[in-house]
Amino acid sequence: MANIYAQVDEAQLKQDAASTLLHYGAEFYPDIITRAEGIYIYTASGHRMLDWTSGQMSCLIGHGHPEIVEVIKRHAQSLDHLFSGMISPPVIALAKRLVSLTPPGLDRALFLSTGGESNEAAIRLAKSYTGKYEVVGLSASWHGMGGAAMGAQYTHGRAGFGPVLPGNFVLQAPNPYRSIFRHADGTHDWETELEYGFSLIDKQSCGSLAAVIVEPIQASGGTIPLPRGYLSKLKEYCRKRGMLLITDEAQTAIGRGGDMFAFQHDGDGFVPDILTLSKTLGNGMALSAVMTSEEIAQTAKEKGFHFYTTHMNDPLPAAVGDKVLEVVVRDGLVEQAREKGKFLQAGLRRLQDRYGCIGEVRGRGLMAGVEIVLDRATKKPGFDLGDRIAERMAELGLWLKLGMQASFAGVYRIAPPIITTQEQLQEGLDIMEQAFAETEGSMPLYRKSPVELVQANL
């Protein structure tokens, strides 16, 4: 594939960026990225890095996937953007395919641009249906930058901008590694934790509880999978209070977590009242979705539910989403992600056995978290250490720095495209091994030399 930015003046671009771009909460990566293809990204100087964050956790089937490129070209010529009140074949096709993949109870869909938008719409839908306004989120949550989504998230972004919408409450996020709620044998007692959390919410509520919104795998909060059975138990609490349960699967759906939808891992036929999708659905294209039941959709319609944006049900991104689903199902990528995830987890746990700074390895499918600590006994986070190791990984050819900020729990969020091969996973694990071995403070636990350990993996 030809690189249209092969001859750029990187020094001039950096100068122009420094004088024109508005910063928005994260430091820019120092090199200019000029190409992305498959599972790799390339800098202007030609440095190649394995992209283990899939862009912004989005390029599920890789950068520049030829079938996606063809869909974009074809629809840019024939059906790109329409008035939001119009529908088109790609939108109908995507809705039909999505509904065929979800269990009964997720029967209707609408399409928007971003995950934040889809969560705004989902919360508004829940408020419209229930006639209530109070919303509950988890303490490790990230749901977007709009008013309702921001009010229901607690990982980062609340401070410095005045009050959020009224009626928001927080549940302690279940974190088996750090929770103070323990059984006598030391295991995580998430059921008591959840019961205690709702007892506090009941005391604070003015009797207008509308919804709970959760991620099945808490992504920005540390890549923490909810305990199996948690969603079903949470839905029981919701039912008793006349609330709806929203699952936000921006990062976890379409095979990423080893299931088509991560909520399916909960078992017992669990189905959320509302499901939101984004990132992985569009493979990097701005596309999101809200899905719900016939009953909720009809009731909300009768009550005058209103959510309208310029890019509602746009045909071009819908065509891309339809192709993403086709490829994932056709090529058996959900099952592959589940199996490759086992290989990835085994490799990460080997690293944990070799380096004392790795406090915990967790995740499902091709979505993993590696928590960096300064001391395993105290579990003190190692933000600076994690940054230094990640910088060395980037130098060696692995991009993995997303999420090392204190606001994101000091955890490497690993999410390579699910088309990644086992050999490419091993390539990334070898780079991680070398970076840990070469970074001061990683607390090696081995006697062999780092070179011998890397060679043992080859």
Identify the three-state secondary structure at position 372. Answer: strand
Q: How confident is the model at residue 26 (pLDDT cuts 50, 70, 90)?
A: confident
Specify the pLDDT at position 2: 72
Specify the pLDDT at position 145: 87
Q: How far is CA 392 from the centre of its chain?
A: 24
Q: How confident is the model at residue 330 (pLDDT cuts 50, 70, 90)?
A: very high
pLDDT over 60 at 299, yes or no: yes
Report the pLDDT averaged over residues 176-181.
96
pLDDT over 70 at 225, yes or no: yes
39 close to 51: Cβ distance less than 8 angstroms: yes
Q: How confident is the model at residue 448 (pLDDT cuts 50, 70, 90)?
A: low
Catalytic residue among 172, 218, 251, 352: 251
Beta bridge partners of 274: 246, 292
Q: Is 97 known to be catalytic?
A: no
pLDDT (tens digit per residue) in 248-277: 999 999 999 999 999 999 988 999 999 999
- The CA R_g of the chain, rounded to the nearest whole Å, is 22
In 10 A of CB 182, how many CB atoms?
13
Tokens of 398: 């692995």
Q: Is 218 known to be catalytic?
A: no
H helices within 242-314, ranges in order? 279-282, 294-302
Specify the pLDDT at position 408: 57
Query: What DSSP element (H or E) covers 333?
Result: helix 333-354
Q: Is 215 known to be catalytic?
A: yes
Locus of tokens 């994260």 = 26
Catalytic residue among 51, 189, 248, 249: 248
Report the pLDDT averaged over residues 175-185.
96
Q: Which of 208, 272, 281, 207 is nearest to 245 (CA)?
A: 272
The DSSP output letter for 374 is E
Sequential DSSP letters for 199-247: HHHHHH--S-EEEEEE-SEETTTTSEEPPTTHHHHHHHHHHHHT-EEEE
Catalytic residue among 215, 360, 371, 433: 215
Q: Is the dihedral of CA 163, 402, 67, 215 positive or negative?
A: negative
Q: Which of 114, 67, 82 is nearest to 315 (CA)?
A: 82
Specify the pLDDT at position 404: 44
In this prediction, what percent of the chain has a pLDDT beyond 70?
Answer: 95
Give the number of C-alpha atoms closer than 13 A to the C-alpha of residue 330, restricted to the C-beta side. Answer: 9
Catalytic residue among 132, 235, 279, 340: 279
Q: What is the mean pLDDT of the chain?
A: 94
pLDDT over 90 at 365, yes or no: yes
Q: Is 248 known to be catalytic?
A: yes
Domains of the chain in sequence order: 10-60+333-457 (3.90.1150.10), 67-330 (3.40.640.10)
Beta bridge partners of 358: 372
The residue among 27 and 170 whose pLDDT is bigger is: 170
Specify the pLDDT at position 449: 58
Give the integer Cα–Cα distance in Å for 244 and 273: 6
Single-letter code of the amino acid located at 356? G
Give the integer Cα–Cα distance in Å for 288 and 344: 28
Catalytic residue among 142, 266, 430, 433: 142
Catalytic residue among 413, 424, 430, 433: 413
List the end-to-end C-alpha distance of the chain, in Å, as a whole number.
30
Q: Is 158 known to be catalytic?
A: no
Report the pLDDT averaged over residues 365-392.
95
Specify the pLDDT at position 200: 97
pLDDT over 70 at 19, yes or no: yes
Specify the pLDDT at position 28: 87
pLDDT over 70 at 453, yes or no: no
pLDDT over 70 at 452, yes or no: no
Specify the pLDDT at position 456: 57
Q: Is 279 known to be catalytic?
A: yes
Sequential DSSP letters for 143-154: --SSHHHHHT--
Give the integer Cα–Cα distance in Å for 411 and 357: 12
Task: Name the pairing type of β-strands 411-414 and 367-375.
Answer: antiparallel
